[in-house]
Chains A and B, each alone.
Chain A
Amino acid sequence: LAKTTQPISMDSYEGQEVNITCSHNNIATNDYITWYQQFPSQGPRFIIQGYKTKVTNEVASLFIPADRKSSTLSLPRVSLSDTAVYYCLVASMDMGRRALTFGSGTRLQVQP
Chain B
Amino acid sequence: DADVTQTPRNRITKTGKRIMLECSQTKGHDRMYWYRQDPGLGLQLIYYSFDVKDINKGEISDGYSVSRQAQAKFSLSLESAIPNQTALYFCATSDPRYGNTIYFGEGSWLTVV
Give chain B residues whose Cβ lies under 8 Å from the Cβ of A42: 104, 106-107
Give chain A residues whose Cβ lies under 8 Å from the Cβ of B88: 41
Please, which residue of chain A has its CB at the minimum distance from the CB of B49? A99
Are A95 and B96 in contact (CB-based, < 8 A)? yes
Within the complex, the shortest CB–CB distance from B74 to chain A, in Å, comes to: 13
- CA gap between A43 and B9 in the complex, in Å: 12
Please, which residue of chain B has its CB at the minimum distance from the CB of A89? B102
Give chain B residues whose Cβ lies under 8 Å from the Cβ of A44: 43, 102, 104
Interface residues on A, range: 20 to 34
Give chain B residues whose Cβ lies under 8 Å from the Cβ of A45: 104
Within the complex, the shortest CB–CB distance from B112 to chain A, in Å, comes to: 18
Are A100 and B100 in contact (CB-based, < 8 A)? yes
Give chain B residues whose Cβ lies under 8 Å from the Cβ of A105: 42
Within the complex, the shortest CB–CB distance from A27 to chain B, in Å, comes to: 15
Encoded as 1 (CB less than 8 Å from any B CB) or 0, chain A from 28 to 69 comes to 000010101000011111100100000000000000000000
Please report which residues of chain A, range 73-101, place their CB below 8 angstroms from some CB of chain B when the two chains form the complex. Answer: 85, 87, 91-95, 97, 99-101
Within the complex, the shortest CB–CB distance from A13 to chain B, in Å, comes to: 23
Give chain B residues whose Cβ lies under 8 Å from the Cβ of A92: 100
Within the complex, the shortest CB–CB distance from B68 to chain A, in Å, comes to: 14
**7 residue pairs A–B, Cβ–Cβ below 8 Å:** A46-B103, A93-B100, A97-B50, A99-B33, A99-B45, A100-B94, A105-B42
| A residues lining the B interface (CB < 8 Å) | 32, 34, 36, 41-46, 49, 85, 87, 91-95, 97, 99-105
| B residues lining the A interface (CB < 8 Å) | 4, 33, 35, 41-43, 45, 48, 50, 56, 58-59, 88, 90, 92, 94, 96, 99-107, 109
Additional A-B contacts beyond A102-B35, A104-B41 (11; CB < 8 A): A32-B99, A36-B102, A41-B107, A42-B104, A43-B90, A46-B102, A93-B96, A93-B99, A99-B48, A99-B56, A101-B59
